[in-house]
Structure 1
């Protein structure tokens, strides 16, 4: 083992031992950005799909006293940028994103049926991840959704929550321990419906049942913790619905404008003994309530490994049951997804994995070059770790560089994919007049 690798592993060991409240290093020269602050500015206007009306959008900038700042858009409730200092105080934007509103409208999740777009930084809903064949049964009837990812519905369909303009509710949050804002979207009964012959709906789509009101509160504190709290209320008195929200930020702790493939050199640890293998359409295999063990496979991130170290090991065991060969066509899980794009089943919470707000550790990431680290805590049962496999060099990012495979990765905290069709998975049904609450925290340090 080389000395450099020993040093990295030592640093990772120290990272694992850090407390949930560890603050990032201040900028060189001291002082950082001063006290906690939040600002709001006009970001352009675009047509809101629900109303057809040209509507203004805004960008909120949340800044802490230690050099961490977040740019958040009301369009799509999108996290556009997160600036984090390195161990030497040099700042970098550590999430992939676009520069202009028009870029987001055109490229982030365009209403087309070819994989839906990259979803950079979006608040994804009404149902994050995939629903098999775009259909599920509830309320005594079958509901249908636009097909926008092979044969499945992905991330809410052709017009998901990332395609809408969210509205601020209440005053900006600015107190002694955090700054933030609450953004709201009212999703109507029949959201994502479509007439027969419309894109993704050859036979027509009913959309999702029940009106829901979604409030997402984004906060930043001086410990470098970017908190996202989801509150979903079913406004219907009679209809149940399904919901599964997440944040779709792509992280690259070296900086979003770093060298091609740089994310593959970053270390990831996932707090999961099991993951959910999928069929060839990326729907979790049936009969596996807790997935399969990661042990002995390239999916084992229980100890830190670089993303790229095993991503090409398509001949390695992946612990997919032989009885499911007809669903996988005998293909490796890494071939099916063209890398990592799977649900990890998070381990039960322990005192050692309990973080801020009493949340469970989902994952950690570390960039040895900059010393930047990320910890993800959540109350959700799973996390979709996606290695940016479908970034093909066709998108120009916020700093003017193209994004390719190895440019970034996601930690999408979630209930499991296709849960509305899999009774073995934790339910994503939200009953009439019921409220769902969930919190995920992304903590940055250096």
Structure 2
């Protein structure tokens, strides 16, 4: 070596530069969020990425409570509608951000037949069973299994649903894992096992406005893209008819992206009349996949905040907040009304147990249930 002194100086400088370079990581912290009426504690876990994206999850309902996202200028806003007070989640449950189970979406008349036996579920939606019939996973205080920081910050929640819970067969052991990586991608993995044949359709029911919760621009100005050429039309009771209908030439065509408000109040479309807007399942062109693939994109063009939804499931329920009627007071005292937020719920199809042509929601002993979804947060160029 011609100049060993120079080599050691260079090595020392390189080591100093590496030491000065911040190591990207995602942080996980937990704190008390309050108590339920029975005195049990609710814990809030916050996962925070290096780029300013953060997610806060409650043990009650394994609920995604807050999702903070920066805009093009770095201004951070919470893009989720929800309550401020834990007591409101308990006394006025509304599914906002909650883990939904055992069955996300509607089951006609609250009945399904499995292996020749008919099961009756609670009715909580005009004679139908919706999102577990009002006694589902969203109103249970889940156990916080673990919290971990690192390149990926994680929080794991678990729940045991006994045989016969809300009318469903089988003891189901469910787990939901929230994971936030350094880039701000929030993955939600739903895993479950059963000791008897049953049906399962778990999802998350977050309500979004990418302009920010409480913004003067409501969610009808968000631009939505759905990778779906067919949807499942419904009856006046919002139960799928069994048809898979082409979206071409209808208000349900979001393949090229358009503002949520376009077609939202088209009284000439009977499906819009039934749903009081959009409240329909879209059959994804990708179908069911082993790994999460792109299903939807939601953007606020003004701030540039973008949410991409990836999922392993074959469908997405798009709900335009039609039943937000001004009686719900949410974060920061904001009064939520129709169109203030939208839901994109990855799932198997509504009422699948009663439609042989729909994707099966059956789960058997020894064949675990798994659904993985990702909320990918970013910004668009002007």
Q: Deviations over 1:139-168 (max 9, x none)?
A: 331100111001110000121101000012
The residue aligned with 1:221 is 181
Distance 2:225 2:23 in 1: 30
User: Distance between the aligned counterparts of 1:168 and 1:339, measured in 2?
Assistant: 37
> Residue 15 of structure 1 aligns with which residue?
none
Cα gap change, 1:74/1:56 in structure 2, threshold over 3 Å: closer, same or farther? same
Which of 77, 81, 86 matches 2:71? 86
> C-alpha distance in 1, partners of 2:287/2:164?
37
Q: Do the aligned residues in 1 keep the contact of 2:25 with 2:150 (CA within 8 Å)?
A: no
Of the three residues 142, 161, 165, the one matched with 1:166 is 142
Cα distance in 1 between the residues matched to 2:53 and 2:22: 8
2:282 corresponds to: 344
Give the C-alpha shift of residue 432 in structure 1: 2.3
Question: Quick check: 1:398 aligned with 2:331?
Answer: yes
Using the TM superposition, give the Cα deviation of residue 313 of structure 1 relative to its aligned residue in structure 2, in angstroms: 1.8
Name the SS for the 2:80 alignment partner: coil
The alpha-carbon deviation at position 348 of structure 1 amounts to 2.2
- Kept after mapping to 1: 8 A contact 2:153/2:179: yes
Report if the CA contact (8 A) 1:32-1:65 is conserved. no
Q: Distance in 2 between matches of 1:105 and 1:96?
A: 16
| 1:375 equivalenced with 2:308 (yes/no) | yes
Secondary structure at the aligned position of 1:399 is classed as: helix
The answer to whether the 8 Å contact 1:32/1:66 transfers is: no
Q: Does 1:272 align with 2:228?
A: yes
C-alpha separation between the residues in 1 aligned to 2:22 and 2:250? 43
Cα gap change, 1:349 to 1:433, in 2 (>3 Å): closer
Residue 62 of structure 2, aligned match among 60, 63, 77: 77
User: Does the residue aligned with 2:77 lie in a helix, a strand or coil?
Assistant: strand
Contact 1:189 1:208 in 2 (8 A): yes
Task: Point out the structure with the larger strand share.
Answer: 2
Question: Does the 8 Å CA contact 2:27/2:150 hold for their aligned counterparts?
Answer: no
CA distance in 2, matches of 1:440, 1:231: 12
SS in 1 for 2:159: strand
Summarize deviations over 1:384-410 as a string: whole Å, max 9, x none.
000000001111111111111111001
Please show how residues 212-361 of structure 1 align to structure 2 within 5 Å.
Answer: 212-234=172-194, 236=195, 239-259=196-216, 262-286=218-242, 288=243, 291-316=244-269, 332-348=270-286, 358-361=291-294
> Do the aligned residues in 1 keep the contact of 2:100 with 2:205 (CA within 8 Å)?
yes
> In 1, Cα distance between the equivalents of 2:220 and 2:139?
30
Contact 1:254 1:367 in 2 (8 A): yes
Question: 1:245 and 1:349, CA in 2 relative to 1: closer, same or farther beyond 3 A?
Answer: closer
The Cα of 1:54 is off from its aligned counterpart by 3.4
Query: Take 1:223 and 1:277, find their aligned partners in 2: how far apart are those partners?
Result: 37
SS in structure 2 of the partner of residue 54 of structure 1: coil
Distance 1:125 1:348 in 2: 24
**Structure 2 counterpart of 1:189:** 163
Q: Is the 8 A contact 1:379 1:440 kept in 2?
A: yes
Q: What secondary structure sits across from 2:39 in the alignment?
A: strand
Provide the alpha-carbon RMSD of the alignment.
Answer: 1.9
Contact 1:32/1:67, CA 8 A, preserved across alignment: no
In structure 2, C-alpha distance between the alignment counterparts of 1:172 and 1:313, rounded to whole Å: 47
Aligned equivalents of 1:132, 1:302: Cα separation in 2: 29
Contact 1:33 1:66 in 2 (8 A): no
Count of aligned pairs between the two proteins? 359
1:34, CA displacement in angstroms? Answer: 7.2
Q: CA deviation at 1:230?
A: 0.6
| 1:324 counterpart residue number | none
Task: Name 1:319's counterpart in structure 2.
Answer: none
Whether the 8 Å contact between 1:78 and 1:121 is mirrored in structure 2 is yes
Cross-structure match for 2:122: 146
Q: Which residue of 2 aligns with 1:434?
A: 367
Is the radius of gyration larger for structure 1 or structure 2? Answer: 2
1:349 is displaced (CA, Å) by 6.6
Question: How far is 1:35 from its partner?
Answer: 4.0
SS at match of 2:261: helix
Checking the alignment, whether the CA contact within 8 Å between 1:349 and 1:360 is kept in structure 2 is: no
Distance 1:188 1:375, change over 3 A: same
One of 131, 151, 160 as aligned partner of 2:107: 131
CA distance in 1 between counterparts of 2:23 and 2:56 reads 15
